[in-house]
Amino acid sequence: MGNSTSASHSILLSAGFATLVPSLLIFSAAVTPFQRYPGTSAFVGTFANWSLGIALAASIAVLAFSAFNQHIPASPLLSYGGALYVMGGIAFAALSMTENLPGSTTQAVAIAAAASSGIGSIAICLVWGRIFKQFTLQRALKQLSAGAMGAGLISMLENNLPLEASVFLFAICSIATVLIPWKLNISDSTSGQDSEPALTQKLASFADVATAPALGLLAFAFIMGTMRSIFTYMFDMYIVGLFAASTLIALCAFHKEKRPLAHIAYQRRISLLAVATLALSNISLALCGTSPVNTFMTMLLYTFAAILTLGTLCAIANAAEFSCDLVFSSALILFAAASVAGLACAEFVPASMMEVVSIVVTALYAVATVFIQHMADPDDCDTTSSKNKASQNDRADRCRNIAKNCGLTKRETEILKFLAEGHTGAYIAEALFISPNTARTHVHNIYRKLNVTSREEILQMTKTDS
């Protein structure tokens, strides 16, 4: 029964993400299937600018609330936000199917739909963020990769089905995105810290943790924004890239390497994809001006980065150093701002130069990612890596006994196990998705409670006779 419940829960989670992506109208790829409809061109620019602007303002408001430890209850967030989300989507679809409305009426309805969709999208993204905060990075990536494959299938159907069937599928996705959370556990808790730091310290610590995923989100949103005007012609390549990126993410989620998964994914996988994208882009530009391979690699890189970013945000929220709303509202601010910047770039840069823009952004993203990961490299040394499995289990048992006797918290017990394995504070911060400052604070608290002054004493205290 337990396994059956767990399986159905996982299916609902992936299904919810699969319906969210193609119905989230602040995302360019969700709008693209409507570009073939007769009435879309008359208002889509107005809708995009207003919906992103309103989404940006709503995200800033939520960030301000969460930064000062205020919290929006889940029930009204889902009820009212869900209603706005569905109404905005239906209004957008109705406008897309209508050709002969006066221009002033079209623009007025488009702005109203954009307001509804922008606010509703932020509310629904926060709801899904609270649901996914229960997962570590590996579990989140497994769920997200499955959901992304489902989203790719839905987007493919929306782009190829007859008009009426495509609109019906979009409406079903919008409604399902709102209804599925009622069947899942939505967290209403705030930050899991024992005490709240000052606002400036909290934001600085958050920047330490979120810089790498923030870069991926910014690059993804900017590229998708710049390509909005030509996205219709490369939408099939986006879907292929989405399937390929989802497969790579799923493979990453099952990695067995010693280093934390985030380090492996950002420093190795992202870097490799970026270098491959740059190489193929330059080769294709030199040989034939452009190439479908170049488009595919661009979509693969940034879709991979986007899914990895979402998984990392889930892990950061799961670590409970920061409130879930602060984590995801910050991400939504970056997404909306970068999308607006991308749209503005597309207005002033000729379509023939978009390949060059993509190459420049990719080069900057690759360099910045490697630099940040190099600066954050924990230079870790596991002094117990040669121990056998039985010895590791004995050491873990000893850590639990010490933690119980000395009154360590759950997080301190978790960190004690890392210290007993010889890991540094920097490694612990990376592995647990907490800021280095918070990791140091926990380590100092452990030293005080155990009455020790160094990591060597921890190793000696937790050593087993094997």
pLDDT tens digits, 137-163: 889 999 999 999 999 999 999 999 988
pLDDT tens digits, 18-53: 999 999 999 989 998 888 887 788 888 899 999 999
- Choices 1.10.1200.10, 3.40.50.720, 3.60.20.10, 1.10.10.10: CATH for 389-462: 1.10.10.10
Select the more confidently predicted residue: 335 or 202: 335
Compute the average pLDDT of residues 357-377.
Answer: 76
Q: How many H helices and E strands in the chain? A: 19, 0
pTM: 0.88
Select the more confidently predicted residue: 294 or 160: 160
CB 158 within 8 A of CB 170: yes
pLDDT score recorded for residue 90: 93
Which residues does 397 contact at the CB level (< 8 Å), separation at least 6?
none
Confidence of residue 385 (pLDDT cuts 50, 70, 90): very low
Confidence of residue 379 (pLDDT cuts 50, 70, 90): low
CATH number attached to the domain at 2-186+199-376: 1.20.1250.20
Identity at 443, one-letter amino acid code: V
Identity at 341, one-letter amino acid code: A
Compute the average pLDDT of residues 65-79.
Answer: 85
Compute the average pLDDT of residues 375-396.
Answer: 57
Distance CA 133, CA 323 (A): 10
**Percent of the chain scoring above 90 in pLDDT:** 35
pLDDT score recorded for residue 392: 67
pLDDT score recorded for residue 350: 81
Extended beta strands in 308-389, E state = none
Look at the chain and count its residues: 466
Confidence of residue 287 (pLDDT cuts 50, 70, 90): low
Distance CA 315, CA 211 (A): 14
Select the more confidently predicted residue: 69 or 312: 312
End-to-end CA separation in angstroms for the chain: 40
Domain ranges for the chain, please list them.
2-186+199-376, 389-462
pLDDT score recorded for residue 68: 77
Three-class secondary structure assignment of 135-182: CCHHHHHHHHHHHHHHHHHHHHHHHHCCHHHHHHHHHHHHHHHHHHHH
Instruction: Say if 2-186+199-376 and 389-462 have the same CATH topology.
Output: no
pLDDT score recorded for residue 198: 59
**Considering the chain, what is the average pLDDT of its residues?**
84
Give the CA dihedral 70, 16, 244, 305, nearest 10 degrees. 0
